[in-house]
Amino acid sequence: MQLSAFRPRPALVTNITSIKRPRFPVIDAHNHLGPEFGGGWDARPLDELLAAMDTANVRVLVDLDGGWGQEILARHLAKFKQAAPERFRIFGGVDWSAWPTHGDAFGEWAAQQFRAQVARGAEGLKIWKPFGLHVRDQHGTLVRIDDPRLDALWATAGELNVPVMIHVADPVAFFDPLDETNERWEELHAHPDWQFPSPPFPPFLAIMAGLAALVARHPGTDFIGAHVGCYAENLGWVGALLERCPNFYVDISARLGELGRQPYTARRFFTQYADRILFGIDAGADIPTYQLYYRFLETDDEYFSYDPEPVPRQGRWQIYGLALPDDILEKVYFRNAERVILRMR
């Protein structure tokens, strides 16, 4: 039998708790409505999307697919924000391909472009993972996360009082050798373009050091570290950056597989940093995924899959619920996002 055909059925007898709706309304701080990551909701009827959000009790959804061009942003603003202004927030982005054209003045140019996006209706800045892995300057040199030539961009976000959602690194295993020790061997063989070995890519910890330096250098700008600060495997590291930088926040999107297999550490993390953690799923308006997150956060169920698929896609392990108390759930589900994204101080 090939490993791909292996479908083990756990013999454990454990609780199976179905959480259809969360204990509190939700602000989904990390999601997509475009075709690549969000299920193509930009081409589907808005009524269907709102119905799915209502079923999952999602009060507000942050769409990170506003892009950097006027056309994409205008389309998403018209389709979602203008049609249902209280239900959506749309983030803009950066056109890194323009760096060779603008050279060392790229940061100033990008800042002006983002200022124009905010004037049109963008309510945050999304930084995608090519930054730190692929973005190169006019000399063909890989741009560091903390490159001072970009200071104007980060300062502009702070001046405009909008947050920066930043994703600079994927799971640590994506940077490790693809051998018999790699816990994501199956996933990386299915998606070989997700592997970032060093060389030619920077070491994982070098990227994370750049993120920490960037956040520390711009205390007037709020940064949301996507996917548990891009380092869900090491909550001690993430917690240390949260301690150092009060302008740093994290979302939990797409990391149930990491958080749920370290339930004691994760529960301490949620307890200690309850004011700094935002909810998100990064999976479109997918009701089964929402309900899986609710089960993880609200119940003490043991040894269940973190993935709606028959074989968990990130790795062959199971997770455990955190059974968080109401005061923490309320903050994670919506209070923190009200403050950081909706800017309700």
Q: Please, is 101 exposed, middle or buried when counting C-beta atoms within 10 Å of its C-beta (0-12, 13-18, 19+)?
A: exposed
Cα–Cα distance, 129 to 157 (Å, whole number): 19
First-residue to last-residue Cα distance in the chain = 58
Alpha carbons 170 and 208: distance in angstroms, whole number: 11
Nearest to 44 by CA among 10, 83, 6: 83
In angstroms and rounded to an integer, the radius of gyration of the C-alpha atoms of the chain is 20
Which backbone phi and psi does 33 adopt, to 5 degrees? -120, 5
Whole-number Å distance between alpha carbons of 74 and 76 = 6
Distance CA 135, CA 90 (A): 23
Q: Answer yes or no: are the C-beta atoms of 125 and 163 closer than 8 Å.
A: yes
**Distance (Å, rounded) from C-alpha 267 to C-alpha 328?**
10
pLDDT tens profile 171-194: 999 999 999 999 999 999 999 999
Torsion angle, CA of 79/128/229/313, rounded to 10 degrees? Answer: 80
- Exposed/middle/buried for residue 292 (C-beta within 10 Å: 0-12, 13-18, 19+): buried
The answer to whether 329 and 24 are in contact (CB under 8 A) is: yes
- List of domains in the chain: 19-340 (3.20.20.140)
3-state secondary structure of 285: coil
Looking at residue 345, its pLDDT comes to: 65
Instruction: Report how many helices (DSSP H) and strands (DSSP E) the chain contains, helices first.
Output: 14, 8
Total-model pTM = 0.97
In which region does residue 267 sit, left (phi positive, over 0), alpha (psi from -120 to 50) or beta (all else)?
A: alpha
CA 129 to chain centre: 10
Residues of the chain under the 50 pLDDT cut: none
